[in-house]
Structure 1
Amino acid sequence: MRRIPPLSAVRVFEAAARHENFTVAAGELGMTQAAVSYQIKLLEERLGVPLFRREKKRVLLTEAGKRAAPQISGAFDTLEATFAGLRADDGAVLTISTSNTFANTWLAWRLGSFQVAHPEMAVRLLTSDKLADFVTDDVDVGIRIGSGGWPDLDEIRLIAIDYTPMCSPGFLERHGPLTPRDLMRLPRISPQEDCWSIWLREAGVDVPEERSQGGVRLDSQANEGHAAMAGQGVAMLTPFFWRNDLADGKLVRPFEQVSMWGPSYWLVYPSARRSVTKVKRFREWLLAELARDRPSPL
């Protein structure tokens, strides 16, 4: 066990020894001159030796104080350099956690512009549909699917999740024109997902309570969209993520109807780190990029 005097008193001694002036040290530390004198007295009593000589309106270091001052000052220099290095390391890398779908259909295509705007910063993108733990996963910001309300996190709602059936032009040519009821007999990608039954019922189709076990089941909308482009069936997709593929003719929308799902995409980060430079820069960049791409406000 280390037998070190209270660091608050040691910090006061270091400043007072540097200036040999309690008043100046008090100004540097944001304390009163009386508080500095009190801390020095506590330290001297703890050590059992005087550290300063009081002479009229000035203080001078004793021999013991002169021996201790440079070593303590050096120790504080080392601490300052260590923490400065940690701050520099922390600021040099921005770690983003997001879902596979958001990364592969939108974010990864645009991160290059953020990197160009901030060449001093490295960017690390972690893709997983599991929620990142900001304490254990070394993550700076996250883009999550949910309804909000995560404790100790700042939250900014980014995109409401809506969806409509999409398929390849070739698939539609082979099977179309389609009615919503036709979807019940055609190959559907991930037909077990809730979005299918919600959309079909809103389109007036009677959907059995027992979900279909057939069809290809994939783990993310990013994979489902690419399977649809490959002609493997009809996928339930969010138009925002696939508008470029729709514009390029890789996907088509057989129906105008778009349904909503309760959750949204959110930008989240620890409330205590909202003013960290890299977090602020990414937040500003992300919101500006989405404002350009989003067809209408939330």
Structure 2
Amino acid sequence: MTGRAPPPLNALRTFEAFARHASMTRAAAELCVTHGAVSRQIAALQETLGVRLVSGPRHALTLTEAGRRLVDGLTPAFGAIADSVAQARGETVREIEISCLGTFALKWLIPRLPAFSQVHPEIRVRLSESYLPVDFRRDRFDGAIRIVEPDQRHPRTESTRFLGQHQGPVGAPDLMAALPTLQAVAAAPRLRSATFRQAWTVWADLAGVTLDEDAPEREFAHNHSLVEAAASGLGVAIAPWAFVAPDILGGRLAAPFGFVKRASWFAFLRPEGRRDAAVDAFRDWLAREGERSPPPPIPSTNPAG
């Protein structure tokens, strides 16, 4: 240790909030201060440390390498402080925040959460919806659920694969009954999500189907809107089994041609090296639920045959 005095804790906390949100406005809202107060605290911290922590125009500041190194240590440190305070107060329930794809949360995760609460009443799971790439230097949540492609890498992240990825054509039962072959499906009104615009192309390659270039298309912002549009009879969607299984089993959707396996998978991501018994318990439970999840119907080229 040196005799040098540490920077003010308030300035460090302000900088960590700014770095996590990538926004002075959102940091100010979290800390209940003004935008100007955040700016002054960061400026004072830079002066105290004698290094540049941010760079760029005032409306689009980014972290320098020194700023990234600093926040890498600050975020887990402030998380540990919060945990210690909770323990000192005698709080018996630990809340963990999990970032999750919205449709996966609605259709797969939330219906299973009561079972997790029964096994772990001491852990409360708070879900936040996000489709953005995970960056634990910026994001303060405890873990994240994402679809991971084989060529994707997540630096400084531990990844646990817990569920395979299958996708196939789904639609309202009456509409799907009127489509006797895969080529008829390929020519039907086509629904897609802005979060994965290449879904039809990927499925067609895996299923060996040639898409009709003249088929009408509609795009929706998110998969949960896509699923509802398909159930309403607006067209056919290519959707992951995990997103539509409850609606197919309940009869709202039909998938007579089954689902093909993709090379991607659902994974639980967490910060590398950050030990947390509550997050461990949630990860292990996810893995067990993934193993118990019902498999999708096998692919078929002619469901009537």
TM-score, reference length from structure 2: 0.60
Does the CA contact (< 8 Å) of 1:146 and 1:265 recur in 2?
A: yes
Q: Which residue of 2 aligns with 1:62?
A: none
Q: CA deviation at 1:202?
A: 4.7
Q: Which residue of 1 aligns with 2:58?
A: none
Identity %: 28
Task: Work out whether 1:183 is the aligned partner of 2:170.
Answer: no
Q: Which residue of 2 aligns with 1:39?
A: none
Does the CA contact (< 8 Å) of 1:91 and 1:277 recur in 2?
A: no
Does the CA contact (< 8 Å) of 2:95 and 2:123 recur in 1?
A: yes
Q: CA deviation at 1:157?
A: 1.1
Q: Which residue of 1 aligns with 2:167?
A: 163
Q: Which residue of 1 aligns with 2:84?
A: 84
Aligned residues: 215
Q: CA deviation at 1:113?
A: 2.3
Q: Which residue of 2 aligns with 1:248?
A: 250
Give the secondary structure class of the aligned counterpart of 1:189.
Answer: strand
Give the secondary structure class of the aligned counterpart of 1:136.
Answer: coil
Q: Which residue of 2 aligns with 1:95?
A: 97
Does the CA contact (< 8 Å) of 1:160 and 1:263 recur in 2?
A: yes
Does the CA contact (< 8 Å) of 1:140 and 1:279 recur in 2?
A: yes
2:240 and 2:3 mapped to 1: Cα distance?
62
1:179 and 1:112 mapped to 2: Cα distance?
40
**Aligned partner of 2:128 among 126, 131, 141:** 126
1:279 and 1:287 mapped to 2: Cα distance?
12
* Matched ranges for 1:23-102 at <5 A: 84-85=84-85, 92-102=94-104
> After superposition, what is the alpha-carbon deviation per residue over 1:168-203, rounded to whole angstroms, capped at 9, x for unaligned?
112234xx1421222243211118832312333454
Task: Work out whether 1:206 is the aligned partner of 2:222.
Answer: no
Instruction: Please identify the structure whose Cα radius of gyration is greater.
Output: 1
Does the CA contact (< 8 Å) of 2:193 and 2:221 recur in 1?
A: no
Q: Which residue of 1 aligns with 2:139?
A: 137
Task: Work out whether 1:236 is the aligned partner of 2:238.
Answer: yes
Does the CA contact (< 8 Å) of 1:240 and 1:294 recur in 2?
A: no
Cα–Cα, structure 1 residues 181 and 4, in superposed 2: closer, same or farther, change >3 Å? Answer: closer
Q: Which residue of 2 aligns with 1:146?
A: 148
Q: Which residue of 1 aligns with 2:260?
A: 259
> After superposition, what is the alpha-carbon deviation per residue over 1:152-172, rounded to whole angstroms, capped at 9, x for unaligned?
211111223221111111223
> After superposition, what is the alpha-carbon deviation per residue over 1:109-139, rounded to whole angstroms, capped at 9, x for unaligned?
2222223333333321011111233233221
Letter in 1 for 2:191: I
2:220 and 2:116 mapped to 1: Cα distance?
30
- CA root-mean-square deviation: 3.3
Q: Which residue of 2 aligns with 1:287?
A: 287
Letter in 2 for 1:117: V
> After superposition, what is the alpha-carbon deviation per residue over 1:26-53, rounded to whole angstroms, capped at 9, x for unaligned?
xxxxxxxxxxxxxxxxxxxxxxxxxxxx
Q: What 5-or-longer segments of structure 2 have no aligned partner?
A: 6-80, 297-305
Does the CA contact (< 8 Å) of 2:193 and 2:226 recur in 1?
A: no
1:131 and 1:164 mapped to 2: Cα distance?
24
Q: Which residue of 2 aligns with 1:269?
A: 270
Cα–Cα, structure 1 residues 152 and 91, in superposed 2: closer, same or farther, change >3 Å? Answer: farther
Does the CA contact (< 8 Å) of 1:91 and 1:278 recur in 2?
A: no
Q: CA deviation at 1:224?
A: 1.6
Q: What 5-or-longer segments of structure 1 have no aligned partner?
A: 6-80
Does the CA contact (< 8 Å) of 1:191 and 1:215 recur in 2?
A: no
Does the CA contact (< 8 Å) of 1:201 and 1:207 recur in 2?
A: no
Cα–Cα, structure 1 residues 130 and 212, in superposed 2: closer, same or farther, change >3 Å? Answer: farther
Does the CA contact (< 8 Å) of 1:200 and 1:206 recur in 2?
A: yes
Cα–Cα, structure 1 residues 90 and 222, in superposed 2: closer, same or farther, change >3 Å? Answer: farther
Give the secondary structure class of the aligned counterpart of 1:94.
Answer: strand
TM-score, reference length from structure 1: 0.62
